[in-house]
Amino acid sequence: MFVVSKYRHETILKEKEEKHKQQLKHKEEQCRHFLISKDNRISELEMERDKLKSELELKSNNEKVIQELKSKLKEANRKNEKLEKVNKDLQSKVNVSIIAKQQLKALCICKLDKKNFMYSFDLTPVNLSVSGRKVYDIAQLLG
């Protein structure tokens, strides 16, 4: 049989109680630390989620802008092709006009009558003589 004094029994109980309190405090600190780290991790993940959402929105906005710019580029290319076609047509007309002007110059002999301020052209192959306002217009055209 084991005999323990009342005082010793109380001290043992107090020691066990103190030990138990310390263990509880230690566990509580561990849990608090775990909760803090968990909260920190949750906030980190939320921040990362928000960042990814904003990047996704930015990416979708950029894709919309790219699509709009592509459609505008296609439209500009179509207009450019039309303008190039019109430009080629006009250039060919100008070239024909230049050739006609050169041929007309080659056919004409221009005489300026300073007394009457009149131009006259002799179309030599045709033997036709023209004078007056029409001659002035032709002279302006021929330069």
Mind listing the pLDDT tens digit for each residue in 68-105? Answer: 999 999 999 999 999 999 999 888 888 777 777 776 66
What residue spans of the chain are helical by DSSP H?
Answer: 6-107, 133-142
- Break the chain into its structural domains and give their ranges: 9-107
Q: Which residues, listed in sequence order, are joined to residue 121 by a DSSP beta bridge?
A: 110, 130
Q: Please state the φ and ψ torsions of residue 113, each to the nearest 5 degrees.
A: -95, 105
Q: How far apart are CA 79 and CA 89, in angstroms?
A: 15
Q: What is the pLDDT, as a whole number, of residue 105?
A: 67
- Ranges in the chain, pLDDT < 50: 1, 126-128
Q: What is the pLDDT, as a whole number, of residue 89?
A: 87
Q: What is the pLDDT, as a whole number, of residue 128?
A: 47
Q: What is the pLDDT, as a whole number, of residue 27?
A: 95
Q: What is the pLDDT, as a whole number, of residue 131?
A: 53
